[in-house]
Structure 1
Amino acid sequence: MSQVPSSQSNGSCIRRNSTGSPMLVVIGSGSRPMRGYLLEQTAAHYPLLLINDAPLTWQKPYVVDHEVANLSDPIAVNTAAASLAVRWPIAGVLTWDEYHLTAAARLAHSLGGRPGNALAAVAAARDKVTSRQRFAAASVPSATSTWVHSLDAAASAAERVGYPIVLKPAAHAGSIGVVRVDTITDLPAAWAIASAGAAHQGPDGQGVLVEEYLDGPEVSVETVTRRGVTSAVAVTRKAVGFAPYFLETGHSVSAGDPLLHEVAPVASAALEALGITHGVSHTELRLTPEGPKVIEVNARHGGDLIGELVRLATGISLPLAAAALACGEIPNLRPTRQRSAAIGMIYPPAEGIVTRRDLRPGSDRHLEHFQWLCNVGDAATLTPSSTTPNNVRAGFAVVSGDSAHEAQQHLADVLARADVQVTPAVPRAA
């Protein structure tokens, strides 16, 4: 067991040395609990240069050099990269952050055509309005969708689509601002949450989508695309809770999952429709009675340590695959394991102030990683609101097993031993 995922990966190419070997530029490290494994696994085999929005802390052991820049400013990112290029030869560009995809595409192009996606393809993936239009044009099954900018327009669109519907910001991630609406009576409160999320979604999309609700289990397909040819590596089965929100409470990956053959062609078609020709992608779908339908395409690694689940289950390192692609090389996608892995999210029991967090003793033989995401004294929010469009998780656990059933049993044991207590928040006087 470890609190930071350890580096265990297959394949290698450019190793760190002092002779000026070509290096990879990473835009944004992300947070250590959820993204640290990406930096660690990649740095074990490739020398890395980091452009980050703050000085180095935990990233220091994994980075040869760095620049601090405003990651939302393309000019600042390119200026930082130019400074690094004076000091080091640059082989390619990486990011695993949804909000830096366009910056990475621009930078790869400006560095003399390093491997990467066309900016138009990345923009189409980021903007769900454009995504839906391209899916429809290419006959890729997905949700019926209407782009709106007001509550009145949302009400009209919902009447046309038919309840239940889903509201979601046009260019956000992490299920922020996504809410199911069952009746017109519920629409105003749901609109407040969706529009609050949309207000912070950045420049890659505006407004809110009103979509038909896709009924059925949710999955994602983890893919690697090289020169327009997509290989489906794994399917991730998801657990979603806290209705009417779509908060992901867990994920599981099994090597050889037969579902992969059913959903992989749909994911590949969605990537092709968007023009994605390069990189690791994470395509979310629902298994509806009419067949798999696309929810959205993320042209980057899946969150919630999904890439680590893939490695634990199959032995394939998606971080190293992305690094190889960024260098213009062929990634190693050969499975070396036949196992299962799962992650479960720990949520606070109620809103309030965290007074206790503890993992009670038990068998940790199958526990791969455990991480608290809150401290005693932190304010815990359980579900989104119009003022806090996302929630706060208390922690997570990652386990492995010889089968999906065994992994779920191990996960249930660990989650049952995780104790989070809060002092409920006192409602404000009217």
Structure 2
Amino acid sequence: MDVPGRVAAGNEPLLILVSPMGETTRGYLLQSVAKEYRLWLFKEEEPTWERPYVVGHTVVDTLDARALTEAARQVPADGILCWDETRILPSALLAEALGLPAMPSGAVRTCRDKHATRRALTAAGASPVASASARDLAEARAAARDIGYPVVVKPRALVGSNGTTFVTDEDHLARVFDSVATRSMPEVRERFAAPVVVEEYLDGPEISVDSLCWDGVVTPLFVARKHLGYPPYFEEVGHTVDAADPLLTDPELGAALTAVHAAVGLGRAWTHTEWRLTRGGPRLVEINARSGGDLIPYLGRLVTGVDAGLVAASLALGVRPSAQVRPQGAAAVRFLYPERDVVAEAVRVDEARLPAAVDRVDVLAAPGQSLRLPPRAHVTGRYALVVVTAATAEGCAEALDAAAAAVTLVPARDLPGAAG
């Protein structure tokens, strides 16, 4: 552990950042916050790329709220910052233990538990969706019969749509139930007697909304139109954010946003909510007490000027954030996948063929890395990502097509039982 003290000049507030996540998809948040604040890193291993941006660090179990609290008592922090979904609850408990500004841990716990979220919404009469938890296949079958097929079956506390499956009938449910019930992630330690949620299938386009909530007033800052692939799974293969999206001023969505935040008990927060636009109006898929993933806040910053990292830092200090929107076109990200399960030999980018609209291209797959498609893997099959900007969402789509054609995966060999 480094010792806090005269590491950096200035009297800027000192924030503990719990789990910075990866440089490619979250580094821009850390970099922007480091320009305005001093950062002390809590991480499970020694920092690497983060070192130039922090004044110190502590190696600690970031999933253990007690361990975090013990470590934090040695750091004179002014606030606790976190944008990692799996660490957002331990971070809230840490802030409460230190008497620092915090989202209520009970509200965060409700957001982390998909079944608890539905119960809270039902109790408040907000965004009604038929839903039940299930301990075993028999309970899942009973719930699906009551709800009516098709249904969506999902793990109760995983992230990023991991394990979420569209189920058409009882035989299909029997085939996938064990896979959903036993799906796990090392960084998710929540355990439930009823680990599976069975829900009404919501038909319609899927979106996400990143919002600022301050004393119960919810302001949508940007909407991402979600692009899904690999049915019956819900793999997110891209997102498009348009500063002129009409949903930003849609009164029905605005009322729904206010209702769901109140239902789960969030008063001051940056949130990432996911919705289906059904014939009956917008229906919540899930609410997360942090900014979006998959570079969505990066796209939002490109088209609105709003910096999710700086907003989160203000919230961590209990200060009302400045989130003035300066609309400027559209931006989109696309994640590139192999045609089948393979081992990567190389990823080649022909920069001469990249259109001018490209903002960045990141190679995600290292030589020798296994790339598997759903359901064998979740998001780890991506070999590259492309971000573009344009005047409109349609212009982004055209630029993404051209950019994707300039990025080539060279496979070393197929994987056994290759899907695709």
Scaled by the length of structure 1, the TM-score of the pair is 0.90
Letter aligned with residue 260 of structure 2: A
User: 1:362-387 CA deviation, whole Å, 9 max, x = no partner?
Assistant: 134221121111112111111124xx
SS in 2 for 1:84: coil
Question: Alpha carbon RMSD of aligned pairs, Å?
Answer: 1.8
Count of aligned pairs between the two proteins:
406
Give the Cα–Cα distance (whole angstroms) in 2 for the partners of residues 199 and 67 of structure 1: 24
Check conservation: 2:388, 2:396, Cα contact below 8 A. Answer: yes
Equivalent residues in 2 for 1:8-157, closer than 5 Å: 17-85=8-76, 90-112=77-99, 114-157=100-143
SS in 1 for 2:261: helix
When residues 401 and 390 of structure 1 are mapped into structure 2, their CA distance, relative to the original with a 3 A threshold, is: closer
2:180 paired residue among 194, 198, 222: 194
Letter aligned with residue 17 of structure 2: V
The Cα of 1:427 is off from its aligned counterpart by 3.7
The Cα of 1:229 is off from its aligned counterpart by 2.3
SS in 2 for 1:356: strand
The Cα of 1:265 is off from its aligned counterpart by 2.4
Letter aligned with residue 408 of structure 2: D
Aligned to 1:219: 207
When residues 199 and 329 of structure 1 are mapped into structure 2, their CA distance, relative to the original with a 3 A threshold, is: closer
Give the Cα–Cα distance (whole angstroms) in 2 for the partners of residues 421 and 189 of structure 1: 34
Aligned to 2:275: 285
Aligned to 1:370: 361
When residues 261 and 204 of structure 1 are mapped into structure 2, their CA distance, relative to the original with a 3 A threshold, is: farther
Give the Cα–Cα distance (whole angstroms) in 1 for the partners of residues 208 and 339 of structure 2: 28
SS in 1 for 2:405: helix
Aligned to 1:341: 331
Aligned to 1:268: 258
Query: Bigger relative contact order, structure 1 or 2, given CA contacts below 8 A and separation 6+?
Result: 1
User: 1:172-210 CA deviation, whole Å, 9 max, x = no partner?
Assistant: 111111111112221133213211325764226550001
Give the Cα–Cα distance (whole angstroms) in 2 for the partners of residues 199 and 366 of structure 1: 36
Give the Cα–Cα distance (whole angstroms) in 2 for the partners of residues 276 and 191 of structure 1: 32
* Runs of 4+ more than 4 Å apart: 388-391
Give the Cα–Cα distance (whole angstroms) in 2 for the partners of residues 159 and 265 of structure 1: 31
Stretch deviating more after TM superposition (399-408 or 199-208): 199-208
Check conservation: 1:219, 1:237, Cα contact below 8 A. Answer: yes
Check conservation: 1:163, 1:183, Cα contact below 8 A. Answer: yes
SS in 2 for 1:393: coil
Check conservation: 1:66, 1:84, Cα contact below 8 A. Answer: no
- The unaligned stretches of length 5 or more in structure 1 are 1-15
SS in 2 for 1:307: helix
Aligned to 2:3: none
1:355 paired residue among 328, 332, 345: 345
Aligned to 1:322: 312
When residues 59 and 364 of structure 1 are mapped into structure 2, their CA distance, relative to the original with a 3 A threshold, is: farther
The Cα of 1:83 is off from its aligned counterpart by 1.9
Letter aligned with residue 368 of structure 1: D
The Cα of 1:421 is off from its aligned counterpart by 3.6
SS in 2 for 1:296: strand
The Cα of 1:391 is off from its aligned counterpart by 4.3
Scaled by the length of structure 2, the TM-score of the pair is 0.92
User: 1:236-261 CA deviation, whole Å, 9 max, x = no partner?
Assistant: 11111100000011101111311122
The Cα of 1:19 is off from its aligned counterpart by 4.6
1:235 partnered with 2:232: no
- The unaligned stretches of length 5 or more in structure 2 are 1-6
1:394 paired residue among 380, 383, 390: 383
